[in-house]
Amino acid sequence: MSSMEPVYSPGDWLPTVALAVLIFLGVVCAFVGIGPLKGGPHRVLDVTKDFEEYRLMEKEELSHDTRKFTFALPEGYVLGLPTGQHMTLKFTNKDGQAVQRSYTPVTDNTSIGKVSFVIKVYKAGVHPKFPEGGQMSQHLESLSIGDKMLMKGPKGHMEYFGKGNFKVKPLGKKLQERSCNAIGMMAGGTGITPMLQILHFIFRNPNDKTRVKMIYANQTEDDILVRDELEALQKEFPDRFSLHYTVDKAPEGWKFSEGFINRDMIEKHLIIPGSKQQFFMCGPPPMIKFACIPGLAELGFSDQDHVTF
């Protein structure tokens, strides 16, 4: 590597300058009594779609290996991420290599001044197939409050517009517009995050009457993430949201399912008879490939009926 100082082009600093200018204008507007732009708070991703630094403001332990990382946005701003899309996080490792991973926030565009991610930390020496663990998740785990992380967005092949309408671009295929009046969700582990994002979008809109059923799979009951939040939604919208769990190892007195998602489980806990239904899936690849998709196929559903995040 050269010892010379790096040379920056205008493209490197313009997004940062643009963001700084708009933040300054927002402060000025607040001072003189001018409200936010028509339609709600300012949106960070309307300002820049390049990598920017965001400060870690909170780190919460959700389970033995899962954390909730919350980063600060400029004051008065929401993220502005389209529903169904992800953010890309980036850092440079000890070898000078850029490491990037995409995650779905669990906060939505009503969360002013912050964005949160629920992320499983893959530690070194725990998983035989990945002896070094996860580079990004371990880096996030090492961050202290006040440290900064590079991120940008949006990224993703699906966007949910509401009232059962969305667009999706399957790998190697053309962009498709789809609609439904019911959604079946299958999530595994931290695959709950895009589902939670869509649930928030649906249920905060009183005009969106889409019905949702979910199967959420985990190894143990203790691994179930955002359980209180999910069950609060079920309690608030009992006619529109149904929630079912399955775990690999069920505790005594467990009233839900045990084992992998299968045809019978999908038929009993996910299908809404007489509806025009689409299925959203996110979880470990083996779960999707060997459990979810075959189960749907056995029930007569095709690739046009489901989306994998």
Q: Which residues are catalytic?
A: 86, 103-104, 282
Q: Which of 279, 284, 293, 287 is nearest to 185 (CA)?
A: 279
How many whole angstroms separate alpha carbon 221 and alpha carbon 234?
Answer: 18
- In angstroms, the Cα distances linking 253 to 221, 256, 258 are 12, 9, 12
Binding site, residues? 101, 103, 118, 120, 136-137, 193
For residue 44, give every residue at least 6 positions away whose Cβ sits within 8 Å of its Cβ, in sequence order, or none.
19, 52, 73, 74, 77, 78, 79, 80
CA distances from 262 to 88, 190, 217, 250 (A): 32, 20, 11, 16
| Binding-site residue ranges for FAD | 101, 103, 118, 120, 136-137, 193
Nearest to 155 by CA among 137, 169, 145, 144: 169
Distance (Å) of CA 306 to CA 80, 105, 113, 174, 289: 26, 22, 34, 15, 12
